[in-house]
Structure 1
Amino acid sequence: MGKYKIGIVGATGYTGSELVRILINHPSVEISVITADSRKGERFIDVHPQFQGIFDAPLVGIEEIDKHKLDIVFLALPHGVSMDFVKDHLDRDFKIVDLSGDFRLSSPDVYESWYKNDHNFAEGFEAAVFGLPELFRSKIKKAKLVANPGCFPTSAILALAPLLKEGIIDKDHLIVDSKTGVTGAGNKAKPNTHFPVVNDNFTAYGVKTHRHTIEIQEVINAYSGAESSVLFTPHLLPVDRGILSTTYTKPTQEVSEDLLNKIFKDYYNNEPFVRLVDQVPSLKQVRGTNFADLYATYDDRTKTIITVSVIDNLVKGAAGQAVQNMNLMLDLDEDEGLAIVPLQP
């Protein structure tokens, strides 16, 4: 059997380059077309020179997608743009993995409330499956459209979902404190990500209003059957990539370290990319990989369950998880093409 044909829509950003970095070494697929309307006519290496001598495909307009017979199309487009492509192409033969937030939530109304942007394709919400394999693997395998999770939600949901599903935590007391590298803001310059602002600095942002709050809350609720309330605060670290999320929850029953270990092992011991660690993890333990390292403990003094999870925001938080979803959708081994060793130091 020949290799599956892949299209990438939106090649100029960090996510587009990470998709290429992973897919060029994937044994079962080949990149057939890669688009960038803003750089059409140039080569991929003109935008991402680190691929010199490795991958120098031409960048074409989005209309070229329709000229290729493809199996999967990745949408590495901004929020508010992906929905137009999905609206026009959901009935095509290829499957879609959308890395934007356009179809992660439950409805257009919820989307418009949190993203402050009109949504023009309500039918997409009915078709979309939330692409967190550890929770929704069976649905992803059958999906035509997968909404790849946000980076912050990936780290927080993996930590919260088992505890909420087991009913051992107060659903109205879920606190997520997250820190991210600057690449989470994309590759376009912004005042708050300018080097003199970020370097030697540490800031909170999106307090009370960050759009990933509702994504975390809706997904853990759908998975557990609960109606929880999440307080989420992100912070910007002076590093390029990685997310560290610390969650604080209050138990509703007697809790011990042994019980926490059992719960997380029951949920994740057979997961290829969730690693349960016995000491507080750091960003470089997962750098450049699709791993999520998770640590859980119980503070008897304050009666608080504490979890710490780390991911690479561009891999498990974006491109790597998208490839993991692709593998499921194409009935390949889930970890195929993702055997990447963390880069440390």
Structure 2
Amino acid sequence: MNNHKKYNIAIVGASGFTGSELARLLCRHPQVDIRHITSESHEGRMFSDLHPQFMGILDQTLESSQVIKKADLDIIFLALPHGISMDFVKTLEDHPAKIIDLSGDFRLKSPEVYEAWYQKQHVFPEGFEKAVYGLPELHSEKIREGDLVANPGCYPTASILSLAPLLEKDLIDADSIIIDAKSGLTGAGIKASETTHFSNVSENFKAYGLGAHRHTVEIEEQLGLLNRKAAMVQFTPHLLPVDRGILATAYAKPKEAMDKNKLEKIYEDFYADKPFVRIRKSAPGIKDVRGSHYCDVFPFWDDRTQRIISISAIDNLLKGAASQAVHNMNLMLGLEEQTGLEQIPLRP
């Protein structure tokens, strides 16, 4: 591994929260140069005009994504909406750069499943053959060899990591899983809507997407791979009146005798070599991980109900999006996986 090499990267789609968080991490990453940042709607403006926190730090001109096709790049990050990314991946089919797609366009196992849950025809079904699901704690070796990595959704990241040790050892009834998850407002993206209007969010709290949220199938597929059989998940998301963060509470019935010490050891052993998952001794809050790449997990054995409760907390814009993409980049480039990702959580 060449510890001094600089890699050329581009961020396609810089107007949203994920694009700005990617830039924040990558402009201080010791082994990359940001060569291009694109935005079709803001072409010609400076990135720091769009995101004033970057003033004097990243005063780079936003370009049209057309420059990417002929650019000399090692990694291309696609911070584009669902349904738009797949068009771009198709046009870059012959580009030598590796692609990290932060949309949902290649996360699922087939174009048929995608079309059923996203209600949109997939224009590049060939991409599913080489796409790797980019959750480093589960698929690091495949990610290292991958040319197209599908960055996981924020809800699935928190949900899958809360239960992965149990599914991997087939310790729970895969049909007993209930996941109750809450996300901060930035999970809905930068464009305002009636749902995300301040008056609807402030001092309010509600569930949405009951029984039909598209992240459900993503969670089921990944847990099923761990368990080597189909998993059915009851997943209910909720909108929190906060900027960022996800808290997921998962419930499941064990298949065999369980106790507190056994449960904790299962989690500690599974995540022993995973530097960004921290096994907690008490329930985490979203401020415990805010601004960081950590996922804090608290496995709890309820002796009265004979159920396992596993609580996980992540920053939805980081471990649930941008820093996960950088983690994937590090693996794909053969870098130390923690490079540029050791920010300490912001609290309060």
TM-score interval, smaller chain: over 0.9
Aligned to 2:117: 114
In 1, Cα distance between equivalents of 2:184 and 2:195: 13
In 2, Cα distance between equivalents of 1:2 and 1:131: 24
Q: Which residue identity is paired with 1:25?
A: R
Tell me if 1:306 matches 2:318. no
Aligned to 1:247: 250
Aligned to 2:337: 334
Give how far 1:238 is off.
0.4
CA offsets per residue over residues 244-289 of structure 1, 9 Å max, x none?
A: 0000001111001111111111110221100001010000110010
Q: Which residue identity is paired with 2:142?
A: K
CA offsets per residue over residues 124-171 of structure 1, 9 Å max, x none?
A: 011100000000000000000000000000000011121012111111
Give how far 1:179 is off.
0.3
Aligned to 1:165: 168
Aligned to 1:260: 263
Match runs of 1:90-101 below 5 Å: 90-101=93-104
Tell me if 1:62 matches 2:65. yes
In 1, Cα distance between equivalents of 2:151 and 2:202: 30
Give how far 1:205 is off.
0.4
Among residues 315, 318, 330, which one is paired with 2:318 in the alignment? 315
Among residues 44, 47, 51, which one is paired with 2:50 in the alignment? 47
Judge conservation of contact 1:164–1:226 (CA < 8 Å) in 2.
Answer: no
Q: What is the SS of the residue equivalent to 2:242?
A: coil
Aligned to 2:203: 200
In 2, Cα distance between equivalents of 1:320 and 1:13: 15
In 1, Cα distance between equivalents of 2:171 and 2:138: 18
Q: What is the SS of the residue equivalent to 2:321?
A: helix
Judge conservation of contact 1:171–1:229 (CA < 8 Å) in 2.
Answer: yes
Aligned to 1:287: 290
Give how far 1:109 is off.
0.8
Among residues 26, 29, 32, which one is paired with 2:32 in the alignment? 29
Tell me if 1:296 matches 2:309. no
Give how far 1:2 is off.
3.8
Aligned to 1:177: 180
Q: What is the SS of the residue equivalent to 1:146?
A: strand
Q: Which residue identity is paired with 2:283?
A: V
In 2, Cα distance between equivalents of 1:126 and 1:68: 25
Give how far 1:339 is off.
1.1
Aligned to 2:223: 220
Aligned to 1:129: 132
Q: What is the SS of the residue equivalent to 2:142?
A: helix
* Identity of matched residues, %: 56
Compute the RMSD of aligned alpha carbons: 0.8
CA offsets per residue over residues 90-122 of structure 1, 9 Å max, x none?
A: 321100000000000011110011011110111
Give how far 1:67 is off.
3.2
In 1, Cα distance between equivalents of 2:81 and 2:173: 35
Q: Which residue identity is paired with 1:116?
A: Q
Judge conservation of contact 2:9–2:34 (CA < 8 Å) in 1.
Answer: yes
Q: Which residue identity is paired with 1:269?
A: A
In 1, Cα distance between equivalents of 2:303 and 2:222: 29
Among residues 322, 325, 329, which one is paired with 2:328 in the alignment? 325
In 2, Cα distance between equivalents of 1:159 and 1:309: 6
Q: What is the SS of the residue equivalent to 1:106?
A: coil
Q: What is the SS of the residue equivalent to 2:296?
A: strand
Q: Which residue identity is paired with 1:201?
A: N
Q: Which residue identity is paired with 1:143?
A: G
In 2, Cα distance between equivalents of 1:288 and 1:282: 13
In 2, Cα distance between equivalents of 1:2 and 1:335: 16
Give how far 1:224 is off.
2.3
Give how far 1:88 is off.
1.2
In the superposition, the TM-score normalised over structure 1's length comes to 0.99
In the superposition, the TM-score normalised over structure 2's length comes to 0.98
Judge conservation of contact 2:18–2:322 (CA < 8 Å) in 1.
Answer: yes
Q: Which runs of 5+ in 1 are unaligned?
A: none
Give how far 1:293 is off.
0.2
Aligned to 2:106: 103
Give how far 1:70 is off.
0.2
Give how far 1:223 is off.
2.4
Judge conservation of contact 2:69–2:95 (CA < 8 Å) in 1.
Answer: no
